[in-house]
Structures are given as structure tokens and as C-alpha cells.
Amino acid sequence: MNKSPHVSGVRQALREATSDSHSHVDGLFSAYRLDSESDYAAFLTAHARALGALESVARPESPRLPMIAADLAAMDMAMPAPLSLADPDRDGYRWGLLYALEGSRLGGAMLARRVAPGLPHAYLSAVHGKGGWVAFQQALDRAAADRGDDWLDDAVQGAQAAFALFAAATRAELATAHG
């Protein structure tokens, strides 16, 4: 990227760089009917495939893997094996992964309302506490401050990797279901 990651612009740069990937993943997951037990189980399984890999590399402060495991267990489903994700051990890359993971909590709140009554939804209900999203964004801004183009490039690569992993998890789940 040619833009310098000024504190005020890092989030905008990430949003712009990942917009198409984000829309693609949203489209893939919109095929799941969350009011159908079988579709919801497949949705959770796909998320678990991605989340297992992402959280092990990104190391979020509030992991959701135990929540998705509990939801799957409540549906008598086992946790799937996580997909693999390279860990280049770069700060910007990790922040890009976190950007996608923490942003997914925002969508989870809306999706939780579409889950059929009686089905577990701890994972989708794991939203940010009051001010949590703002605090994450401020931490992202601080992490990006004075880091330069390489840091932002790494962050974009991390966010893109997260979206690609969610897309791959959906394809893997659909192949398993129809396979």
C-alpha cells in the first residue's frame, strides 16, 4: 500500500482493502438458515474450522472458541479440526487478523437474533461490552501509530487471510455436507 497508516486512516485503509472479501464471506454465510437446526449446525461448524486457526495465531483477549465448542456440544456435535493458517509472527498481520475477528462480533449480534428459539447461541451472542469495539479500534490505532507502510501491508494481509479462512471453512463445510 502507498498510504501511510496515520492513526485516523488505518481503520479506513483496512475497511477499504477488505471490503470485497468481507462482502464475499457475508454472501457465503448468508446461505445458511439460522432458524434451521441442520443449517445452523453447519454454520457453527464452518465458523469453528476458521476460528480454531485464527484464534491460535491472533491470540485475542476474549477468545470465542470455548463458546462455539459449547454451542456445538449442546447440539451433540463435535468440534471440527481447525483449518491451517500460517503464522508469520508479524505484529501488523496479527492486528489484521484481530480486526476481522473483532469486527465479526458486530455481525454476530445481528445473526444471534435469527437463531431459532431453543438453539444455543453463546458464540453469536459474544458481543463487545459497552465501549469494547471503540476500545479495540483505539488499540488498533495505537498499534499502527508510526509503524509505516510495511505494518499496514501486514495488517491488510492478516485481515485478508482471516476472510479467506472463513470462506475456505464455508467451502469445506459445504463439501462435507454434500460430499
Sequential DSSP letters for 105-172 = HHHHHHHHTTSPTTS--TTTT-PPPTTHHHHHHHHHHHHHTT--HHHHHHHHHHHHHHHHHHHHHHHH
Q: Which sign, positive or negative, has the C-alpha torsion 88, 66, 168, 80? A: positive
**DSSP H/E element including 62:** none
What is the mean pLDDT for each group of 10 consecutive residues in the chain (179 residues)?
53 93 94 94 96 95 96 97 93 96 91 95 94 92 88 95 96 74
141, with CB counted inside 10 A (0-12, 13-18, 19+), is middle
Alpha carbons 76 and 91: distance in angstroms, whole number: 38
pLDDT in tens, 64-111: 999 999 999 999 999 999 999 988 999 999 999 999 999 999 989 899
- Quote the DSSP letter at residue 36: S
Q: What cell was used for 106?
A: 458486530
Does the pTM of the predicted model rise above 0.85?
yes
